[in-house]
Amino acid sequence: MCGIAGLFHFETVKPVDPKRVERMTDALAHRGPDGSGVWTAPGVGLGHRRLSIIDLEGSPQPMHSADGRAVIVFNGEIYNYRALRRELEQGGAVFRTDGDTETILAAWQRWGPDCLSRLDGMFVFALYDLERRQLFLARDRLGVKPLYLARLEGGALAFASEMKGLLAHPLMRRQIDPLAIEDYMTWGYVPDHRAMLQGVEKLPAGHFLLLEHGREPGPPRQWWDVSFAERERGRTEDLSAQLLHLMREGVTSRMVADVPLGAFLSGGVDSSSVVALMSEASTAPVTSCSIGFDVESVDETRHARQVAELFGTDHHERIVSADQFGEIDRIAAIFDEPFADASALPTLRVCELAREHVTVALSGDGADEAFAGYRRQLFQMREEQARMFLPSALREPVIGALGRLWPKADWAPRPLRARTTLLSLAASGEAGYARALAILAPEQREQLYGETLIRERGAYRAEQPFEKLMCEAPARSGLDRAQYADLKFWLPGDILTKTDRTSMAVALEAREPLLDHRLIEFAARLPHRQRLRGNTGKWLVKHTMERYLPEDILYRQKQGFVTPLAEWFRGPLAGEARAIASSELLTGSGWFARKALSRLADDHIAGRSDHGRVLWQLLMLERSLRHLQPSA
């Protein structure tokens, strides 16, 4: 696992100052404390920071191909590199190292951009072909690894694993994109189609860029997608056997490392399944790491300990205070862009614990998106069924009007929030699911915005690209479309961003075996009944793991990391809540209405409403703006 950065002149071939590339990579030193390197040639510069995982001494980067015709910097792991090496050697390729980096170089020289479909792994890399004078930038299928891009004055493209790498370049502009604020206030993160700073982009998951000197860069090209358009057939037990095989393959392939390896263990279905399959494949006890809280109602260590004892793991746990708000500024610096998923705080804690014992940790990320483990997906399926029986002529004028009149009950579980359900039913399936996923609905955002943001935002609404993604999904049902959006929008924007930044902040490599692309493709073909059965999500996964895990682990209510935001903003962070309303970074720009923010804080502190999540969102935005130091 590493950090990469570089520069490419696509207009006029100019010399690249290696010191500038070095500054960009130095900003990513946390991602790769074990080594660094810079390579430049006319019109191009590549930089690398290395966290040694495989071939600890023999694969420094930037790395040249055996014939010297190509150079690469690479962030990630290729799990099938040994099989690829054997295939390439049969075709005459010569290797000087024992790692996966050189395998990518040889694959490019054999197959060009088609090499991507042969790579099984998580990766972002920049490969410069000196003979073709082309720069090849590529990102893995599901977006486990990030890549930021920015055009600079003079016809250059800068790229880096994190935005802080771009910010280290002296020509980088720091102007906030108002549309990114609209996106962030909707979702709680800045999704992959946008970046917080104008002129910055993110290479989308499953896409590549092929750049040439003297030619204007075109749009990224998609090289992988997941389809929900087909259905697997067969008996449940046959599908279960196929699923178990794929899960085993995903886990065992990610256990290859030349450094200590372990797993995150929350005691939930996904991480417990990963630990179970790791234990099956390992001759030594698996190292497992869990954190708990000093508040019993949100503490899961009992369940994690149960799984650890069941498989005899070398278990490590740490109890932390639920009051982790002292890390606010650190979180803002880690993420660069505003990030309001409060579970980033406990995720950082478990990464810190894991790094004390291992260099690589396997996580359970991805199963909820792929196998329908979120309750919102269950609600979406049922609402889509209800829409079939509700005449479209009645939905908006009658049900929508009733929903707008119904009192808000944000404190209640969703099945009891009639207003939310009615407004969702009144809309299309795509709009309804966007409303279910959003932190703030359009009418709620409108109440907070100032005149400047309303004017600069124009007709754009954050839900538009999300709904478009669902409408164009290769899918057969509303549930399919919802899961497709979760995999393509929510997963890279929130879940994988959180895991990448928090793990890399402590030089830990996190691997996601349940995001093996063959497993994801299989899950997308499962019939509804194998994904959702009754109120049980991830049904086939749970059924399959019954041979490994007890019922109270498999079928207990999903919990996840919980952060007591409402209590914080009525207690130790009450002053921060009030300060939000007077923040010049938020209100001085005209982006937010001062009176609306003040009323939001007052109502929450007085207990009239629960605005804890929105106050956290605003606080993280304010801290991120402090960190980014945008120009006027």
Residue 145's SS3 state is coil
Distance CA 243, CA 541 (A): 8
Name the amino acid, one letter, at 237. E
Distance CA 355, CA 340 (A): 24
- Transcribe 604-618 into DSSP letters: HHTTSS--HHHHHHH
**Beta-ladder partners of 37:** 48
Distance CA 452, CA 455 (A): 5
User: Would you say 338 and 624 are in contact if contact means Cβ atoms under 8 Å apart?
Assistant: yes
Of 258, 505, 276, 272, nearest to 358 by C-alpha is 258
**Residues 2, 115, 289, 351: which is the catalytic one?**
2
Place of tokens 């790491």: 289
CA dihedral 586, 589, 590, 596 (to 10 degrees): 20
For the chain, the maximum distance between any two Cα atoms, rounded to a whole number of angstroms, is 73
Distance CA 272, CA 514 (A): 12
The H or E element containing residue 620 is: helix 612-628
User: What tokens were used for 535?
Assistant: 């109120």
For the question of residue 2 being annotated catalytic, the response is yes
Name the amino acid, one letter, at 379. F
User: Would you say 164 and 622 are in contact if contact means Cβ atoms under 8 Å apart?
Assistant: no
Residue 23's Cβ-side half-sphere holds a number of Cα atoms within 13 Å equal to: 14
The size of the chain, in residues, is 632
Distance CA 436, CA 141 (A): 26
Residue 41 CB partners (closer than 8 Å, separation 6+): 16, 71, 128, 130
Distance CA 414, CA 416 (A): 5
User: Would you say 25 and 3 are in contact if contact means Cβ atoms under 8 Å apart?
Assistant: yes
Check residue 55 and give left, alpha or beta (phi > 0: left; psi -120 to 50: alpha).
Answer: left
Q: Which 8-state DSSP code applies to residue 414? A: G
Of 227, 149, 156, nearest to 192 by C-alpha is 149
Residue 201's SS3 state is strand
Residue 245 CB partners (closer than 8 Å, separation 6+): none
Residue 432 CB partners (closer than 8 Å, separation 6+): 380, 383, 423, 424, 425
Burial profile 193-209: b = 16 or more Cβ within 10 angstroms, e = fewer: ebbbbebbbbbbbbbbb
List active site positions: 2
